[in-house]
Structure 1
Amino acid sequence: MSLLAAKKAVERAMEKGQVTILVPHVESHADLARELEDTGLVVNAVAFRPIDVREIRRKLQLTQEQFALRYGIDLETLRNWEQGKRSPDKTAQSYLRAIERMPEEIQVAQEDNILKFW
């Protein structure tokens, strides 16, 4: 974390009373937490749960083809994710989390991009 990013995080914490900081590369998260707690901060670790694309699709009771078409995902990409051959990148993970939480709203938003014929 750069000094500027750390400064901004502290300013947000002072302003809002809390801040979330992504700390991907430290030797010891426990040592960092202790050092921050020594300054009077309360530290809570948050872990990212992995995305289970197959589980999201099954909860929606959709086939791979239906899910891919409904949410604008390449079918082969979806299959690769489900088979563990590839993992969704951060953008795709965010999209999949949105689908998981708001499937109907995401479907409607996705349909705005589809040309409809009558």
Structure 2
Amino acid sequence: MHGRRAVRFETALPVEIGNVHGLARNISATGIYFEIDTAPALGSHVYFAVELTVRGEKLKLVCDGQVLRVDQKDGVHGIAAKFADSFFSNPAEIVDADAGWLTRTH
């Protein structure tokens, strides 16, 4: 039987990939599903930040993930990514990088 290993939580959190913005639709300890206007390549590594509010303070979860699935519906791309690495950062400490998708392929 094939199933998810981690519990997913439905959400609507802002996601940033470079200067492209989207919305996280669900998140778990091991991965994320977000919707965005353009899509990275299947299997690529993508660097992104998810904005969270914890105890009234805005934080960014900065992530390195591998793209496992890319869906398309009504001009929006749904991206399922498995976390490779992540850490919390103060939004003021994040430097905006104008890198095309901030991705690398293997």
Q: Over alpha carbons, which structure has the higher Rg?
A: 1
Q: Which has the higher contact order (CA 8 A, sep 6+)?
A: 2
The structure with the greater share of residues assigned to strand is 2
Using the size of structure 1 for normalisation, the TM-score is 0.22
The structure with the greater share of residues assigned to helix is 1
